[in-house]
Amino acid sequence: MTDAALREPTFLILTALAARPQHGYGILLDVEEISGGRVKLRAGTLYTALDRMTADGWVRVDREQVVDGRLRRYYRLTDEGAARLEVEVRRMRAHTRAAERRLRLRPAGGTA
């Protein structure tokens, strides 16, 4: 498993699936909510990411439903995907702590 930083859409999609399985449109809405409205994924980006994450074993199809004659497919995070997200969260947390420590050391009033 690689520990290279995840791209933001990948991180947000994994986060959207962390608590429960979701269908494609649900993931798009959830990603927007998680990012505070800053990231608005589109269908092409979402399904390219799902294609890659499925190949990597991080995500898999949970179930399918037909609603109003239309297929709705739910995706869920695999254990491997959850572990990868956990690694990313730890990495981001370490960076955040380091940034906070450095900011506290910064002289008050501007440039040194």
Partner 1 sequence: MSGLERRYRRLLSWFPRDHRERHGEEMLVVLMSGAGERERPTARDFADLLWAAVRLHARRVVAADGGVDPRDVLAVVSLLGPLALVTGATTGLHEVAWWVRAGALTQMPWSTQFPDAPVWLLWGVVAVLVLWGSRRAAAVVAWVATAGFVLLAAFYPAQHWWLGVDAGWVLVGLLTAAALTWSPGPVRGRELVGGRAVVVLAVTVAVAVGLGVLGHRLLPAELLRVVVLVGGTLAACGSRSRVGRRSALVLLLPVVTAALGVAQWLVLGRIPVAAEVALFYGLPVVALLALGGLPRRIRRRPDQPVT
71: part of which helix (H) or strand (E)?
strand 70-77
Smallest distance, partner 1 to C-beta of residue 112, A: 43
* Cβ atoms of residues 88 and 5 within 8 Å: yes
Toward partner 1, which CB reaches closer, 53 or 85? 53
Alpha-carbon torsion (93, 95, 96, 98), positive or negative: positive
Residues that bind partner 1 (CB under 8 A): 23-25, 28, 42-48, 50-52, 54-57, 60-61, 70-73, 78
Say if strands 59-67 and 70-77 run parallel, antiparallel, or are unpaired. antiparallel
Smallest distance, partner 1 to C-beta of residue 20, A: 18
Toward partner 1, which CB reaches closer, 35 or 54? 54
Smallest distance, partner 1 to C-beta of residue 77, A: 13
Toward partner 1, which CB reaches closer, 83 or 98? 83
Smallest distance, partner 1 to C-beta of residue 35, A: 16
Toward partner 1, which CB reaches closer, 73 or 97? 73
- Residues 27-30: contacts with CB under 8 Å, at least 24 apart: 27/75
82: part of which helix (H) or strand (E)?
helix 79-105
